[in-house]
């Protein structure tokens, strides 16, 4: 599962851990600790995601519930304060918008970043 939060992007999978645990992966230093402060984060430059931690499924469930409780905005992208994370999320938004047929209404200037994918 990919998880896009206001202060971090995560990949959470069942890999290299016990049945009651999940592997939480991140691309940026410090992101895992923001959501899972007790996690033992390791760093490796030989893996897809540089930062990772094994976290109990219960801790992941609790963190997800806490994130849901924090939702107080009408537009997710507009709440992202970190400019590099905002840019990355806009790229994800554009890629996913390209899957929608017909595409969502967006101004012509922004539409060009979706590419020229046509619906069958």
pLDDT digits (tens, 9 = 90+) for 45-83: 999 999 999 999 999 999 999 999 999 999 999 999 999
pLDDT at 105: 77
Residue 61 shares a structural domain with residue 108? no
Residue 46 shares a structural domain with residue 13? yes
pTM of the model: 0.84
Residue 120 domain flag: no
Torsion of CA 86, 89, 91, 94, to 10 degrees: -120
Is residue 88 classed exposed, middle or buried when 0-12, 13-18 and 19+ CB atoms within 10 A define those classes? middle
102 upstream amide cis, omega within 30 of 0: yes
Domain that holds residue 55: 1-72
- Residue 25, H or E segment: strand 21-26
Residue 23 shares a structural domain with residue 41? yes
Residue 66 domain flag: yes
């Amino acid at each position: 599962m990919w998880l896009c939060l206001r202060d971090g992007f995560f990949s959470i999978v069942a890999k290299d851990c016990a049945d009651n645990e999940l592997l939480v992966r991140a691309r940026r230093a410090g992101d895992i600790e923001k959501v899972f402060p007790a996690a033992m984060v390791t760093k490796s430059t030989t893996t897809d995601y540089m930062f990772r931690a094994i976290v109990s499924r219960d801790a992941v469930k609790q963190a997800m519930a806490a994130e849901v409780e924090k939702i107080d905005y009408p537009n997710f992208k507009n709440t992202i304060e970190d400019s590099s994370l905002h840019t990355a999320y806009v790229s994800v938004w554009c890629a996913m918008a390209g899957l929608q047929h017909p595409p969502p209404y967006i101004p012509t200037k922004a539409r060009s970043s979706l590419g020229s994918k046509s619906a069958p």
